[in-house]
Amino acid sequence: MKEKKTISKDIHPVKSAKGGIRRGELFNRVNALILSKDKNTQNLFKKLFLEYGHKMKSVNAREEALRIIKQIPFLIVIIDLEMSEVDALEFLKKIREIDENSCIIIVSTHPSVESAVEIIREGGYDYLTKPFASKKIKIVLGRAIERQHLLREAKQKRHYQKLSILDGLTNVYNYRYFREFIEKEISRAKRYNQTFSLSMVDIDDFKKYNDKYGHLSGDKLLKQIASFFVNAVRTADTIFRYGGDEFIILLSMTTKEEALKAAERLQNAIKQNFPLTISIGISNFPEDGGNKASVIKKADLALYQAKHSGRNKICSYAPDKSKRN
């Protein structure tokens, strides 16, 4: 009975209607690329990768290798050196420019310690010499494959973590992440004896806009305004969708007076670029409270004052009566 080959679940060799292989499917099938004119070297690496449940594509020209790497994000690239050290380093740099996460393994018949060190310094993963030592080559390939799997898993994890903290409509940070973020900001401010301000922003008469133009147009406008906020504030400031048509801007290391000036600039810019205006309520840590709940509540009270004193208003929290602009 023939022994069945174990193939990774990541490999799905599906052909297109014309018999070719689509790009996305090729990525699933081809995990590694080898550049070598030596058929024996090509076949050896293909056999080893198949044992790990991976496919390998082979090419014998540098130009073809670069063209393919630009099209397909290979996890591992093996280069059988038949070029000068200067050319080899230049070629390695070109691959790293296309994909800095490519795991590049160099193969050479006559290596020197200096060339091996230089290649590793320039981003090469490892160096193998001919004739190959069976144990050495399996260790290098096993580690390279494991490394790339870990990188892929980490990338996927970061992707899903990012999705979990972003608002699905506006692509700014969501309310849940705001609650976590402000806790960290308060801890940082206390530790370094610093201040920050909250600007709670509400779009004036947004319900009327929705009623007049429909919810699809309203959603589009919300996305545009959120994007405008991101580009209008400092890189140190952070935008959150608080809910509905309300946003919060957390201004790091900012006094209430500085937050008022920033709010005025933002308000004027919105008025000039959109068919609606905004009202803003401002609070400050630690001036208006020493914890999350109090700082948020004071910004909300200031916004309430701004909304009920007319459209396009800014109020900062004050103990008795919010200061108006």
Catalytic residue IDs: 245
Q: In degrees, to the nearest 5, what angle opens at C-alpha 68 toward C-alphas 66 and 73? A: 100
Q: Are 282 and 266 in contact (CB under 8 A)?
A: no
* CA separation for the pair 267, 265 (Å, rounded): 6
- Under DSSP, is residue 91 helix (H, G, I), strand (E, B) or coil? helix
SS3 31: strand
SS3 63: helix
Residue entry with tokens 């069945």: 4
The amino acid that residue 29 corresponds to is R
Of the candidates 255, 267, 198, 258, which has an alpha carbon nearest to the alpha carbon of residue 228?
267
Provide the token pair at 48.
């080893």
- Identify which of 54, 68, 43 has the alpha carbon closest to the alpha carbon of residue 141: 54
Q: For residue 199, how many C-alpha atoms fall within 13 Å in the half-sphere facing its CB?
A: 30
